[in-house]
A = this chain, B = another copy of it.
Amino acid sequence: MSYSAPIKDMLFVINELAGLAKVNTLPGCEEATADTVEAVLEENARFCSEVIAPLNHEGDKAPSTWADGKVTTTKGFKEAFKSFAEAGWQGVQHPPEFGGQGLPKLVATPCIEMLNSANLSFALCPLLTDGAIEALMTAGTEEQQQTFIPNLISGKWTGTMNLTEPQAGSDLSLIRTRAVAQGDGTYKLSGTKIFITYGEHDMAENIIHFVLARTPNAPEGVKGISLFIVPKILVKADGSLGERNDVECVSIEHKLGIKASPTAVLQFGDHGGAIGTLIGEENRGLEYMFIMMNAARFAVGVQGLALAERAYQKAVQYAKDRIQSRDPDGGTSAAPIIRQPDVRRMLMSMRAQTEAGRALAYVTAAAFDLAHHHPEESERNRQRAFYELMVPVVKGWCTEMSVDVASTGVQVHGGMGFVEETGAAQFYRDARILPIYEGTTAIQANDLVGRKTVRDGGAAVRDVIARITETETQLKSAVLEDIKACGIRLSEGRAALEKTVEFILANAKSEPKKVLASGVTYLKLAGIVIGGWQMARAALAAERLLQAGTGDASFCRAKIATALFFARHVLPLSSAHSIAIVEGADDSNRLADDVF
């Protein structure tokens, strides 16, 4: 099935909601003019749809395989990765001094979306490499940066994140991998890491593992974890490759989805110790990893959006092709099923949630750019607070949404959706990892509640609520009744969010279990309300364009209709979520363990 990048919607969100014009004025972002961005997106779209997308179903049918410690990726992946790197796509958001394009995150985000829509399994390799570059930029020495970043950007090498161990998943305090200083600036690492995405593959000449481990006298728990660079093949002082390091891929997982992406079990130090170098300071590994993870979590949220978009396109295509049942508008012979009201409802539900996810992600990306480049410190701080608040929402909401959208996509296909050859089932399987990896939705919710809501006394989320209230005022003076109707539902949603935030702030210290049990519901509520806010802003922008006569009228009317669908079919769930929290936060804690 082909993939066609939704460039028109992307540009609308970039320009009208995320404010490219403002980002473009920031120091260092001057090259990202509207024209350049459009050209970059179109070139990326062409590459993703022509080169990467055709390998998606192939990778599902013929996953990466393991034999004798080596992983052979799906046929075509190696060549595609070479093209990807040569075209410079790995470097989109990375600094020009290391060979990157230095474009704002607002521009990199649609590129990441397209790559993931085209092929989630393939896109994971660049995604992890982005994380590695981020870690080096944050805490690497100049020498480490010079040694690794250019080769990671050029696609000569790739990067991995090594956190999980069999006994340490969501709880990183349980990490056991050991790193012993050798006195020569290097460490010897030993231990087992699992769930390592692209931990072994044949697409690049070297793999740079970023590994969390403990030094011998480190404090217990998360405060005793350090971050190490452990290359698969050792890198000499002159940058050339040396000996094979003592790290071995002992197996890859047999997974529900993203089958082409090899998920490795890595054994470090079985033959004397894997040689690694410390990044930054000892015992601060988790701090660096969190920077990497914030970037990776945002990117996984974009994966959710991307998967939803692809599943939507697939379902639309089937609904237009499949002839079955009469058109309720008339006619005597069977019509395409897109004429059936319930099929349209399913497609609208997929479309509305996907568009809301895109708005959430791009607006968050713009906040990142503003937080990094805005000349005024107060604005940088405000944008940083918004960005950090939104990362768990984008990750949690977009990925949970993608599971729902992919499931609806199968339903649109009826019985054919259950047959693997059709391809809709792959999205349903692939999507399921997204709310799990890079921190489950519960982990995102803990972050949203603890670090992002309670720690600043609700300042960042109250700022969002105030901005929503401003939009409500604008919605009241909209010309179109449909847009006013969006406002009614947005007001109710905002009130539900407000009530919930106050509940969480009031109870965080005194009733921690109630608040922990409410986190995921709060995250979903925040995603719905902030997503609904963005959809309402989109409707207002579409009205402006319609009145000015400058927009694509059909596109603008569709945007308003989609916003209205979101307002009346998704936003009303916010009241239900609020009740579950404010009245029912303790309802999960009533049964003794043995009653389950």
CB of A319 within 8 A of CB of B596, answer yes
A329 to B573 alpha-carbon distance, docked (Å): 31
CB-CB under 8 A for A517 and B342, given A325-B171, A587-B348:
yes
Report how far A418 CA is from B433 CA in the complex, Å: 6
Decide: A432 and B419 in contact? CB cutoff 8 A.
no
Partner of A341 from the list B256, B421, B516 (CB cut-off 8 Å) is B516
Measured CA separation A517–B329 after assembly (Å): 13
Q: Flag if A255 contacts B169 (CB, 8 Å).
A: no
Contact yes or no, B568 A342, CB < 8 A = no
Query: Does A593 sit at the interface, judged by CB under 8 A?
Result: yes
Whether the Cβ atoms of A569 and B565 lie closer than 8 Å is no
Residue A407, interface by CB 8 Å: yes
Nearest CB on B from A202, distance (A): 23
**Within the oligomer, what is the number of copies of this chain?**
2
**Which residues in B have their C-beta under 8 angstroms from that of A558?**
591, 595
A588 interface residue, CB < 8 Å from B? yes
Instruction: Contact check, A519 vs B414: say whether CB atoms are below 8 A apart.
Output: no
Let me know if A371 is at the binding interface, CB within 8 A: no
**A345 in the interface (beta carbon within 8 A):** yes
The answer to whether A256 touches B324 (Cβ under 8 A) is: no
Chain A interface size, as a band, is 35 or more
Contact of A276 with B by CB under 8 A: no
Contact at B419–A428, with CB atoms within 8 Å?
Answer: no
Tell me which of B167, B320, B436, B568 contacts A418 (CB under 8 A).
B436
In the bound complex, do residue B164 and residue A415 qualify as a contact, i.e. CB atoms below 8 Å apart? yes
> Which segment of A133-141, A176-184, A283-291, A575-583 sits at the interface?
A575-583
| Complex Cα spacing A351 to B195, Å | 30
Selected contact of A580 from candidates B319, B325, B342, B568, CB within 8 Å:
B568
Residues of chain B contacted by A336 (CB below 8 angstroms) = 593
Contact with B along A325-342 (1 / 0, CB 8 A): 110110000101011111
Evaluate contact between B195 and A415: CB separation under 8 angstroms: yes
Closest chain B residue to A561 by CB distance? B590
Q: A455: CB under 8 A from chain B? A: no
Q: B255, B521, B580: which contacts A420 (Cβ < 8 A)?
A: B255
For the complex, what is the distance from the CA of A336 to the CA of B565, rounded to whole Å? Answer: 42
User: Chain B residues near A415 (CB, 8 Å)?
Assistant: 164, 169, 194-195, 436-437
Question: Which residues of chain B are within 8 angstroms of A167 by Cβ–Cβ distance?
Answer: 323-324
The answer to the question of A531 belonging to the interface, with a C-beta cut-off of 8 Å to chain B, is no
Task: Report the minimum CB–CB distance from A472 to chain B (whole Å).
Answer: 18
Of residues 401 through 430 on chain A, the ones whose CB sits less than 8 Å from some CB of chain B are 403, 407, 410-411, 414-415, 417-421, 425, 428-429
The digit string for A148-181, where 1 denotes a CB below 8 A from any CB of B, is 0000000000000000100111110110000000
User: Which B residues lie within 8 Å of A391 (CB)?
Assistant: none
Contact of A340 with B442 at beta-carbon distance under 8 Å, contacts A328-B512, A513-B328, A569-B587 already known: yes
- Which residue from chain B places its CB closest to the CB of A574 in the assembled complex? B576
Chain B residues near A428 (CB-CB < 8 A): 256, 432
Return the CB mask of A492-506 against B: 1 if under 8 Å, else 0: 000000000000000
Q: Is A520 close to B, CB under 8 A? A: yes
Q: Does A325 lie within 8 Å of B170, measured CB to CB? A: yes
User: Shortest distance in angstroms between A222's beta carbon and chain B's nearest beta carbon?
Assistant: 11
Does B520 lie within 8 Å of A345, measured CB to CB? Answer: yes
5 contacts between A and B (CB under 8 A): A414-B436, A561-B587, A565-B588, A572-B576, A573-B576
